[in-house]
Amino acid sequence: MYLIRLLYKTFDSERKAITFYLINVAVLLLIFNLTVSEAVIAYPTLISLMILAVYLTIKAVSLHGFLNGLDSAKQSKGYEPAPETCKESHVFETIEEIHANYNNKIAAMNEKLAGRNSMFSSFIHNMKSSVAVIELACAHKSLGALEDIELENEKLKSNLEQALNILRLDDFSNDYVPERVDLHALVSTVINEKKRDFIYASVFPKLSGETAYIYTDKKWCAYILEQIIANAIKYSLPNKNVYMEILTGEKRTVLTIRDEGIGIEPGDIPRIFDLFFTGKNGRNHKAATGIGLFMVKHIAKQLGIEVSLASTVGSGTSVSLSFLSKL
């Protein structure tokens, strides 16, 4: 069956050459009969068919090697193509480029999937811990138990929101609505939503600056602010302040969020926006996941927000967000 398929593919690939050859032979035989008194057709026809058979045999052998090379190339590795023509060489080079491109895409997808699995594992672990605390609180009914339940419920909501935001990142363009946003009002809203966190940590928000309008997505921008302010509260010392200052320029508006916390080790700063990197402070803080600042950097890039960070151990950390102004 393979031989028949090979012959069929050979005839199919060489049909133009065969057609041209047969027409040429027919014309030569016609001229031969017109010029020679005795009609002798069998001998030249036989010679012509033999030449055609040799040509098709050579082409079939060449096609057989090319098809074997293609079959090996499907495996993407462990094959050594031996192209006989420049055209075949280009085909194999293109196949190698396609394989390399898809291998890179697959590696990137696997890395992304592994990171996502780790993130969701972290969320599930945190939510299981909250559920366990709620179960214990339910078994010991008291005013303090109700406060614990309320606190753990907030943690559950936060983890669920984080998980949903990660899922939304793949379709960011479908969930992005640029608009004119009052940055001062937006920061005030986020501060109000974090009011309980400020109170529990005995940290005080200080917002300064005039009304400033920026061009961004209100929901995603609020998410970025929530993550940065949450970190500022988390790593601040009691009875200290978190300063939020808005400076308006002609083209860019800069919001600086500065805490008076423990600061970040100089060696940790270059990796602070990496996924799952918690640094020395994160290892000492059980609630640290190494996800928040990664999300901030990723979303900020999508929104065209420039993010910079500076920190001094023992003095605090400052995060600046530079927005495109909208007058």
| 157 and 196 together in one domain | no
286: its two tokens: 């059980």
> Which of 169, 187, 212 is the endpoint of a domain?
169
Range(s) of the domain holding residue 30 = 2-82
Residue percentage of the chain with pLDDT more than 70: 73
Q: Which long-range contacts link 13-20 to residues 24+ away (Cβ below 8 Å)?
A: 13/59, 13/63, 14/56, 14/59, 17/55, 18/52, 18/56
| Side-chain-facing half-sphere of 250: CA atoms under 13 Å | 0
103 is a domain residue = no
| 252 and 285 together in one domain | yes
53: its two tokens: 């058979």
Condensed to tens digits (0 to 9), the pLDDT of residues 274-314 reads 766 666 655 555 555 667 788 888 888 888 889 999 988 88
| 277 and 320 together in one domain | yes
Q: How many residues does the chain have?
A: 327
| 196 and 247 together in one domain | yes
Pairing type for strands 213-217 and 240-248 reads: unpaired
> Which of 82, 100, 135 is the endpoint of a domain?
82
277 is a domain residue = yes
94 is a domain residue = no
| 42 and 10 together in one domain | yes
Q: How far is CA 240 from CA 207, 243, 281, in A?
A: 14, 10, 18
215 is a domain residue = yes
| 292 and 205 together in one domain | yes
Condensed to tens digits (0 to 9), the pLDDT of residues 223-249 reads 899 989 988 998 888 899 999 999 988
Looking at the 3D structure of the chain, how many domains does it have? 3
